[in-house]
Amino acid sequence: MWLLAASASLLPAVLLLSSRYRGEAAALWRRAAAWLLGLLRGRVCVRSTHAFVFTNCTHGKVHSVLETFDLYTKTHPSASVGPQIGELLDEVVGRLRPLLVLELGMHCAYSSVRLLRLMPPAGRLITVELDPVTADLGEEIILVSGFKHSQFQVLACSSAEAISNMPSHLEPHEKTGAGFSLVLMDHDPEQYLPDLLSLERQQLLCPSGCSLLLVKRDQRSAGLGRVLDHIRGQADRYSVTRDLQVLTEVFYRTDGLTARST
Ligand SMILES: *[C@@H]1O[C@H](CO)[C@@H](O)[C@H](O)[C@H]1NC(C)=O
């Protein structure tokens, strides 16, 4: 009898607990499902973009590759940045003529091709992609565009890993050189600040001037807010040169006392 009474008195607590955990479990499940769906969608999108561009472009012709990408993004949802950011990239690369460029987040390689197309012949692009399948497909698109392995390198790993091992990926003359004069960040915004701090720490940003392009796929991202706070708090080194809805351009230099070479 006392057992029944005891369990009856416990019942409300048990019910309360199980309903609370049910709520949490459901929320957790919803988050996991959304993440998985995003991942699958990303992959499917990269695969179908790749198939469309690979079969429909003229191999060896960079203009045809970019046109085919644009045709695809006009008619399909796509992970590539599209012509609006593409034109901004053209303008920045044309102005800076960078010899060493870092791209974090390669996606379908649209921006990689766009960057390579206007870089000086001696320039080199290092592009980082976390997903190994995406990295392989992207590399194929860069080769199809007519670029050689001497002009670019694809690193299939996390951005943090790529940056911390960067010296081993650089050519001898790049190791003693000025570092990156253009960095395009289009990966996980949560990584923007830690990666920027790591690039600073390792002195990989060209001290006489480096353009940072931060792609804003999600305006409300907390990571984006954090990196912009850091940049605005270091006015001696950073200045925001362009703040658009899709992208923020930041100029970095640490030898501000010497005359501008340009
Ligand atoms: C090539 O383009 C055509 C028409 O623009 C399209 O229907 C076809 O699906 C594309 N090929 C691939 C493999 O996506």
pLDDT band for position 197 (50/70/90)? very high
Confidence check: pLDDT of 251 > 80? yes
Ligand 1 atom nearest 56 alpha carbon: 1
Burial label, 103 (beta-carbon count in 10 A; 0-12, 13-18, 19+): buried
Tell which wins on pLDDT, 23 or 185: 185
For the chain, how far is it from start to end, CA to CA, in angstroms? 91
CA 215/CA 211 separation, integer angstroms: 13
CA of 36 to the centre of ligand 1 (A): 27
Q: What percent of the chain has pLDDT over 70?
A: 81
Closest of 72, 48, 68 to residue 57, by C-alpha: 68
Confidence check: pLDDT of 253 > 90? yes
Confidence check: pLDDT of 176 > 80? yes
pLDDT band for position 2 (50/70/90)? low
Whether the Cβ atoms of residue 125 and residue 119 lie closer than 8 Å to each other: yes
pLDDT band for position 259 (50/70/90)? very low
Look-up of token digits 């009474």: 5
Residues 6+ apart with CB under 8 A from 242: 248, 249
Query: Which pLDDT score, from 0 to 100, does residue 261 have?
Result: 42
Task: Decide whether any atom of ligand 1 lies within 6 Å of the 52 Cβ.
Answer: yes
CA-nearest residue, atom 11 of ligand 1: 52
Look-up of token digits 């992970």: 79
Query: Which pLDDT score, from 0 to 100, does residue 72 have?
Result: 92
CA 210/CA 25 separation, integer angstroms: 46
83 by DSSP, 3-state: which? helix
Task: Decide whether any atom of ligand 1 lies within 6 Å of the 72 Cβ.
Answer: no
Mean pLDDT over 193-206 rounds to: 97
Mean pLDDT over 14-23 rounds to: 57
Confidence check: pLDDT of 18 > 60? no
Q: What is the pTM (predicted TM-score) of this model?
A: 0.82
Mean pLDDT of the chain: 87
Whether the Cβ atoms of residue 216 and residue 188 lie closer than 8 Å to each other: no
